[in-house]
């Protein structure tokens, strides 16, 4: 049975408090499994407003309406309001996700700080932030995490090496390269081991192989504008020819205003014959396989501004 791996990125306090429980309910309704990746430290989303001064930002704001999805309060964290510490405030909510049977892992310590800086940072900076999220995860859950998914698909060689040091067995820190219409550019994209600076790492990478909702909404594909009413059909078109796929969703989007789209997707994927699973389920299925080794490279994806890590070759 082909697998649809559901990887849930949780970026903000609001997403943790409101989006996450909504997603748990929806997944239970569809008897689907998933992996939740949490932001465990300060919510500095307001600092992301600085991105407004970068090229490409305004186009993105109008497309996905950042204010509508994130809320005014979230956009003020770190600017006019102090940054709330998500892991401290929401430990009970996070444990409830684990207790409901879902795998939990690390997204980041501080989403904005990581996403905006990690590419050019040294080992000490990188390890210190990763150590904070690792320690916080252990404080909350009483055990070490098995998995990680990089904020904004941003990493550096020290960060990849640190995953092995932590004993993180599998992660999803990269994307597969996509054509403008969202189809895979490389049919062989998928789980692999990563070669970083000449060394093959133990941690298995499971790149996201589908576009995200915010990358598709508002774009014109095959002469049709993608709207909230047509986007689920577009994604289901991409998964029609079945193969294993990793889909990244956001507590702030699919867990809130875009929940009806996620509902459509879950129903559609079931009808297409997919097993809806978490990264842990996928890892179990991969354990007996010999995986290819490939490097990672900076690149771009249609509908997303800036560089991010793509599975190379
Ligand atoms: Zn994120």
User: 69 pLDDT exceeds 90?
Assistant: no
Instruction: List, in sequence order, every beta strand (DSSP E) within the chain.
Output: 3-10, 35-39, 103-108, 147-148, 170-171, 192-196, 199-205, 220-221, 224-225, 245-250, 275-277, 293-294, 296-299, 308-311
* Ligand 1 center from residue 239 Cα (angstroms): 23
Q: What count of other Cβ atoms lies within 10 Å of the Cβ of residue 170?
A: 23
For residue 266, give every residue at least 6 positions away whose Cβ sits within 8 Å of its Cβ, in sequence order, or none: 26, 27, 30, 32, 276
CA 282 to ligand 1 center in whole angstroms: 21
Is there a contact between 276 and 30 (Cβ–Cβ < 8 Å)?
Answer: yes
> What domains sit in the chain, N to C, each tagged with a CATH number?
3-311 (3.20.20.370)
CB 203 within 8 A of CB 147: no
The predicted-structure confidence for 143-199, as pLDDT tens digits, reads as follows: 999 999 999 999 999 999 999 999 999 999 999 999 999 999 999 999 999 999 889
Environment of ion ligand 1 (residues, CB < 5 A): 9, 11, 151
Start-to-end Cα distance in the chain: 26
Could you report the per-residue pLDDT of 201-251, keeping only the tens digit for each? Answer: 999 999 999 999 999 999 999 999 999 999 999 999 999 999 999 999 999
Spatial neighbors of 84 by CB under 8 A, at least 6 apart, are 13, 42, 43, 77
């Amino acid at each position: 049975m082909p697998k649809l791996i559901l990887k849930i990125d949780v970026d903000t306090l609001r997403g943790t408090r409101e989006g996450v429980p909504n997603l748990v309910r929806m997944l239970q309704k569809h008897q689907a499994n998933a992996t939740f990746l949490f932001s465990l430290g300060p919510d500095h989303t307001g600092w992301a407003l600085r991105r407004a001064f970068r090229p490409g930002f305004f186009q993105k704001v109008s497309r996905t309406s950042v204010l509508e999805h994130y809320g005014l309060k979230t956009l003020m964290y770190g600017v006019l309001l102090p940054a709330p510490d998500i892991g401290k405030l929401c430990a009970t909510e996070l444990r409830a996700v684990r207790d409901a049977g879902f795998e939990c892992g690390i997204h980041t310590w501080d989403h904005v700080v990581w996403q905006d800086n990690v590419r050019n940072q040294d080992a000490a900076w990188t390890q210190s932030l990763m150590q904070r999220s690792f320690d916080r995860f252990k404080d909350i859950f009483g055990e070490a995490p098995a998995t990680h998914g990089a904020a904004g698909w941003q990493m550096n060689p020290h960060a990849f090496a640190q995953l092995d040091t932590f004993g993180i067995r599998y992660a999803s820190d990269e994307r597969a390269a996509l054509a403008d219409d969202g189809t895979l550019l490389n049919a062989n994209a998928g789980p692999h081991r990563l070669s970083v600076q000449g060394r093959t790492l133990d941690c298995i990478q499971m790149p996201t192989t589908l576009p995200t909702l915010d990358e598709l909404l508002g774009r014109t594909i095959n002469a049709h504008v993608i709207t909230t009413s047509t986007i689920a059909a577009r994604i289901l078109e991409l998964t029609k020819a079945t193969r294993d796929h990793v889909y990244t969703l956001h507590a702030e989007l699919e867990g809130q205003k875009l929940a009806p789209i996620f509902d459509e997707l879950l129903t559609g994927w079931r009808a297409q014959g997919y097993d809806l699973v978490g990264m842990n389920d996928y890892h179990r299925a991969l354990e007996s396989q010999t995986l290819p080794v490939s490097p990672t490279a900076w690149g771009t994806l249609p509908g997303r501004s800036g560089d991010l890590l793509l599975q190379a070759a």
